[in-house]
């Protein structure tokens, strides 16, 4: 057992992590240099960090952050939760594909941000239209990824399962779902990015709380440090959530060979 675990355990790539740290430090250094060269138009990392501390101490940052995070998580869960089973149905059953694919492709050509005014008119200015638009953005990305994952399952594996007497349910559970998982996880990661982009735009139009609202209000007063705080927070939250999905991907697809 110990020998098996030693074979499957991957060595730590210290050079890879060192390059990542160096990239972050280099980016911060370039940002600082640009702020020194343009002190009146571009706040530096120290100024932004100081402003973030001020917003954190008076509780403003936490309120806006939690509001945006709740909207993103709720919309992402609803959209992806609907997209994955429907994507499986589209890929596995041709009648479902014939019914759902035209509508999926139709709405994919419409940016979710273009639907925000319509959602506000139909659903009001509360949380419902914001979550609905976020759900749609995550849904469209995830359903296409899941559908494509099912279509790309090796037909040889499916035929081999049928030759061995496996039912469609067994084939679906043992072959289609595992083989489609890498595509699904890519779709979830892209859907998460779409959710963050959509929530910020929704908060710019109609919101009283949220990072997008905070940035819009700061724009009125030309408060560049606060705008940068919002940008950095969104980027960090998106990065952390993406790392969580990437970890889940590595666990769910541990059978897959990786470079």
**Distances in whole angstroms, Cα of residue 24 to Cα of each of 30, 56, 257:** 10, 23, 29
For the CA atoms of 199, 107, 83, 116, the dihedral, rounded to the nearest 10 degrees, stands at 20
The domain total for the chain is: 1
Give the Cα separation of 15 and 23 in Å (integer).
Answer: 12
Judge whether 20 lies within some domain.
no
* pLDDT for position 105: 87
Task: Please state the pTM of the whole predicted model.
Answer: 0.84
Q: Which domain holds residue 203?
A: 65-252
* pLDDT for position 258: 61
* pLDDT for position 12: 58
Judge whether 144 lies within some domain.
yes
Alpha helices in the chain (DSSP H): 2-8, 14-37, 45-57, 60-92, 94-108, 116-123, 127-151, 155-163, 168-171, 177-205, 211-220, 224-252
Question: CB atoms < 10 A from the CB of 37, how many?
Answer: 9
Judge whether 31 lies within some domain.
no
Judge whether 10 lies within some domain.
no
Query: For the domain that residue 107 is a member of, what is the CATH number?
Result: 1.10.3720.10
Judge whether 257 lies within some domain.
no
Give the Cα separation of 137 and 199 in Å (integer).
Answer: 10
Judge whether 176 lies within some domain.
yes
Judge whether 39 lies within some domain.
no
Per-residue pLDDT of the chain (259 residues; tens, 9 = 90+): 444 444 445 555 678 778 888 888 998 899 899 888 887 788 889 999 999 999 999 988 999 999 999 999 999 999 999 999 999 999 888 888 899 889 988 888 888 778 888 887 888 777 888 889 999 999 999 999 999 998 888 888 888 888 888 787 888 888 888 889 989 999 999 999 889 988 888 887 667 889 988 998 898 888 899 999 999 999 999 999 999 998 988 888 776 666 5
Judge whether 16 lies within some domain.
no
């Amino acid at each position: 057992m110990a020998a098996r675990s030693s074979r499957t355990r991957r060595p730590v790539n210290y050079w890879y992590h060192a390059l990542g740290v160096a990239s972050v430090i280099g980016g911060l250094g370039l940002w600082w240099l640009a702020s020194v060269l343009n002190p009146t138009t571009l706040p530096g990392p120290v100024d932004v960090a100081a402003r973030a501390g001020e917003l954190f101490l008076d509780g403003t940052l936490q309120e806006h952050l939690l509001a945006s995070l709740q909207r993103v998580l709720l919309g992402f869960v609803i959209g992806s939760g609907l997209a994955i089973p429907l994507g499986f149905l589209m890929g596995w059953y041709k009648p479902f594909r014939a019914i759902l694919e035209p509508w999926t492709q139709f709405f994919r050509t419409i940016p979710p941000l273009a639907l925000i005014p319509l959602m506000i008119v139909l659903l009001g200015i509360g949380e419902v239209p914001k979550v609905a638009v976020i759900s749609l953005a995550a849904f469209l990305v995830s359903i296409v990824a899941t559908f494509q994952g099912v279509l790309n399952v090796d037909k040889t594996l499916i035929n081999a399962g049928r030759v061995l007497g496996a039912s469609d349910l067994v084939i679906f559970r043992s072959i289609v779902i595992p083989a489609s998982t890498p595509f699904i996880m890519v779709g979830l990661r892209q859907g998460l990015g779409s959710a963050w982009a959509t929530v910020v735009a929704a908060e710019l139009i109609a919101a009283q709380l949220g990072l997008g609202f905070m940035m819009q209000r700061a724009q009125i007063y030309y408060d560049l440090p606060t705008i940068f705080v919002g940008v950095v927070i969104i980027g960090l939250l998106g990065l952390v959530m993406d790392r969580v999905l990437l970890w889940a991907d590595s666990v769910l697809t541990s059978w897959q060979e990786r470079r």
